[in-house]
Amino acid sequence: MSRSNRTDHIRLTSHPVPGAKHAFPIHWDAPDARSRGPIIGTVSRPQDRNVIGSHGGSYAVYRALAVSAGALNPLRRPDLTNTFPAATIGPFPQWSEPNRIVALDPWGHLVAETFRTEITEGADIRPSIAVTRARLDLPEIQAAIAAKRLKPDGNVVHANGSVSVVKIAIDPVWYLPGVAERFGTSETNLRRTLFEQTAGMFPELVTRPDMQVFLPPIGGTTVYLFGDVAKLPDHRTTITCRVHDECNGSDVFGSDICTCRPYLIHGIEECARGAQAGGLGLIVYNRKEGRALGEVTKFLVYNARKRQEDGDAAAAYFERTECVAGVQDARFQQLMPDVIHWLGLRRIDRFLSMSDMKYDALTGQGIEIVERVPIPDELIPADAHVEIAAKKAAGYYSPEAPTAQDLDDTVGRSLEKY
Ligand SMILES: [Zn+2]
């Protein structure tokens, strides 16, 4: 069953069939989904493919395991009945403005409706975005209500302390010419580097210049929206926003070496408050663990920081990362503003982040930021003062910059004291 579409030999898709035309051409900045064309990363109907890579981001590897184990029929198509978005997002002018969005498919949540006919006829077209609704129940929000910082209103914040949100999952879809431009390099160089650094995982990057879209095997983005989504297109709506990069240790487990979870929850509280005041709150959560260097690198850096001669000093914070990883940061904030464009926004009124990299990326992409809101001092965990002092010294937004003395005086816990 699971071998039913296999021939005896492996067919490489690394070169186009001479003279063949794409059945589904992609016109990236087209004004509507049909003229843009569907993104097809199917592995069961190779003749329909118009992108490099396959669906599901990093989970494509687990799909392969499921097929290998005989648990999943590779020909099976998703049944998309009733999966359509639980809130209306767009379309917005930004979706077809040249090079405004290059790292996601703005039409990715609408494919089941837009390409119903093609799907019925057997094309394997899958959504890369899903929009649903949820309630968040967080101990810190309960505490904010108990402390009377936040009042239940029965709409955004409920009597039991839960918070209503629209949540949106977004898989990366890269338009390679646009991605190359964001990084100030040529498409050829970007393709070649992606090919080489994945040890040749996607030969089409270098052999198929006719395919300009890549589904990279990386994590995606989740958006949590607070308030009335119908207000997105109204430019008078006050937007509260935190852009947060994944930190499993703090976000989920409460590890106290950094400010991630406290800042994230502060963001959620501010978003809920903004929505209660008639605005919209927005948490953008990007899967970029450990500055996109991964958790193994991150934990190695923690050890290197804690074991250096003068202890875990703020003054040497970035240096230790660079010693282990070769770079201080690999989060490519250049692509991050796409989700803000996708939501049709041109202004963020309250930006709950101190990161100069995020600020520069957003404003560089034409998004106005009215106010920057630092993390309140009382929310900084015991061992996280090293991180925050080092970041402020490196240019993170802060009402007052730390002095050289502050940096020298800020030293974290040693490995023996855990
Ligand atoms: Zn963290």
C-alpha torsion 333→336→337→341, nearest 10: 160
Tokens 């309140």 correspond to: 376
Identify which of 281, 259, 274, 299 has the alpha carbon closest to the alpha carbon of residue 415: 299
Residues at Cβ < 5 Å from ligand 1 ion: 247, 250, 258, 260
**Cβ-proximal residues to 274 (8 Å cutoff; 6+ apart), any chain:** 226, 227, 238, 239, 240, 280, 281, 350
Give me ligand 1 centre to Cα 244, in Å.
10
pLDDT, tens digit (0-9, with 9 covering 90-100), for 309-363: 888 888 888 888 889 998 888 888 999 999 999 999 999 999 999 999 999 999 9
Q: How far apart are CA 195 and CA 182, in angstroms?
A: 19
Give me ligand 1 centre to Cα 68, in Å.
36
Identify which of 353, 387, 409 has the alpha carbon closest to the alpha carbon of residue 257: 387
Q: How far apart are CA 202 and CA 213, in angstroms?
A: 12
Asked whether 363 and 337 are in contact (CB, 8 A), the reply is: no
- Partners of 225 in the beta sheet? 166, 282
Identity of residue 413: R
pLDDT, tens digit (0-9, with 9 covering 90-100), for 159-213: 999 999 999 999 999 999 999 999 999 999 999 999 999 999 999 999 999 999 9
**Largest Cα–Cα distance of the chain, in whole Å?**
69
Give me ligand 1 centre to Cα 247, in Å.
5
- Reported as half-sphere exposure (CB side, CA atoms, 13 A), residue 366 has a value of 10
Q: What are phi and psi of 320, to 5 degrees?
A: -65, -40
Predicted local confidence at residue 2, as pLDDT: 46
Q: How far apart are CA 217 and CA 305, in angstroms?
A: 31
Q: How far apart are CA 350 and CA 357, in angstroms?
A: 16
Asked whether 57 and 216 are in contact (CB, 8 A), the reply is: yes
Identity of residue 368: E
Predicted local confidence at residue 310, as pLDDT: 84
Task: Give the catalytic positions in this structure.
Answer: 329, 331
Give me ligand 1 centre to Cα 72, in Å.
36
Give me ligand 1 centre to Cα 289, in Å.
9
- Reported as half-sphere exposure (CB side, CA atoms, 13 A), residue 415 has a value of 12
Where the chain has pLDDT below 70, the residues are: 1-14, 18
User: Does 381 sit behind a cis peptide bond, omega within 30 degrees of 0 on the bond before it?
Assistant: no
Predicted local confidence at residue 1, as pLDDT: 38
